[in-house]
Structure 1
Amino acid sequence: MARNPQQRRNERHQQPAVDAPRVRRGPSGGTKKPITVDAIVDAAFELVAAEGYEALTMRRLATALDTGPASLYAHVVNKDDLDELLIGRLCAGVEIPDPDPATWRQQLSSVCGQLRDQYLRCPGITRAALAIVPTNLETLRISEGIFAILLAGGVAPQTAAWTADALTLYVNGYCFEVSLRDGRRTAPHDAWVVSRDELLSRFRALPDTFPQTKRYAAELTAGAGHDRFDFTINLMINGLA
């Protein structure tokens, strides 16, 4: 009996998927690239890289694959299923170390940094990550790894569970904020995006009813690259002590 997309999805969440390609013929008799789950995910990443996550729809994706939406639904259940496949692919690029009680804090920081870098490869994808309950095996591998590292560090199970949730939530939120900021900087009307120099100038020109903001404007606007991310992750981890 043929399996429907929902059954295939359930199977993917139990073991690595083996998706049999379907040969397609073009109008001239030439063979088109077979549609598989991997081909759909590859095309989705290309679309997001070119136009952003907001442009990713099943119809747009079908056009990119030179097929109709119905062909995609033979492999994925819906857009939420596709989002989970994308997130799972990104999570597959994160290396989870064997938990080490001597270096568990450094291990946690490393995993969070890797997850951040993977999400930033696909700007906006964390909007989907924030909206789903992870059941993809690769996504669960990340939460399992973080939880195991926390337990190895002597953190109580309930505290470890909530800390794992808080860490991944912060990573998701940070990446989403970065994607929004970077997207608006490239928009045609981006005059409202404020540089650090301009922000410093504005803070220092505030009325005296904001004495601390004026005095510590440099500190409030400090940080380059992922400095604030690293500070917050380490603050959360070290706070467990």
Structure 2
Amino acid sequence: MTDRTPSRDRWAADIARLDAPASPARKAPLSAERIIDAAFGIVEAEGYEALTMRRVAVLLGTGPASLYAHVRSKAELDDLLIGRLCAEVPLPTPSVDQWRAQFLAVCAGLRDQYLRYPGISAAAFTAAPQSLETMRISEGLLAILLAAGVAPLDAAWTIDAAFLYVSAYSLEVALRTRAEERDGEPSRDRGELAERLRMLPAERFPNTVAHADELTSGRGHERFDFTLNLLLDGLRRP
């Protein structure tokens, strides 16, 4: 019969291994993905205005210099953040018949991604996009407009205007929401705002007083849709 009893030396080694203090958990290696994840966590909890490379470094338990080996600057981090959000926006196959609805759907999808993180759309204003995912959205919108017969120059400038509007609209919503949370006061409803406008001196503000309801109208994203439709209405098509 084979002797299955462990040798004395092996037994001693096993006991020593069990008695040895547990080694501290190894820290996950730093990477661009971890930096982006940490940045999103900061924005979600504190708003985009709180995001700095130093703040990310503290959250990851390292120094700012360590981050620059993976993300070269705050501007590049901003671009990577926007790129990841853009990656979540689906792009349709361009359709001549559905081009307007497709364009609006892509813009609405980008808006909704921005609104997930308070003020994140401010990152879209910092530099020209370098991320391939961000360029993917531009390429998709360009394909939609070109399929509809829009001239390339008109299409390019329309996309630029749409990006600016989506970013600004999302930033305004985020800033207003953050202010309400900070002050602990809900925003005034539209009826209250209209009433305040009607209280203005009519001799100085005759049109504002007369059209207070129109000036304060709109629910949800109605004004967002209106503005983008107005932009598309100005396009020349064959």
Which residue of 197, 207, 216 maps to 2:201? Answer: 207
The corresponding residue for 1:232 is 227
Which residue of 123, 137, 142 maps to 1:128? Answer: 123
| TM-score using structure 2 length | 0.85
Equivalent residues in 2 for 1:1-241 (5 A)? 29-188=24-183, 194-209=188-203, 210-241=205-236
Unaligned runs of 5+ in 2: 1-21
TM-superposed CA distance for 1:213, in Å, is: 1.3
TM-superposed CA distance for 1:63, in Å, is: 1.2
CA contact (8 A) 1:150 1:160 kept: yes
Q: Between Structure 1 and Structure 2, which shows a larger proportion of helix residues?
A: 2
Q: Output the amino acid matched with 1:109.
A: L
Seq. identity, %: 57
CA contact (8 A) 1:105 1:238 kept: no
TM-superposed CA distance for 1:28, in Å, is: 5.1
> What is the alpha-carbon distance in structure 1 between the residues aligned to residue 183 and residue 156 of structure 2?
43
> What is the alpha-carbon distance in structure 2 between the residues aligned to residue 102 and residue 194 of structure 1?
41
Number of corresponding residues: 214
> What is the alpha-carbon distance in structure 2 between the residues aligned to residue 229 and residue 170 of structure 1?
9
Larger Rg: 2
Q: How much is the aligned-residue C-alpha RMSD, in angstroms?
A: 1.7
Unaligned runs of 5+ in 1: 1-26
| TM-score using structure 1 length | 0.84
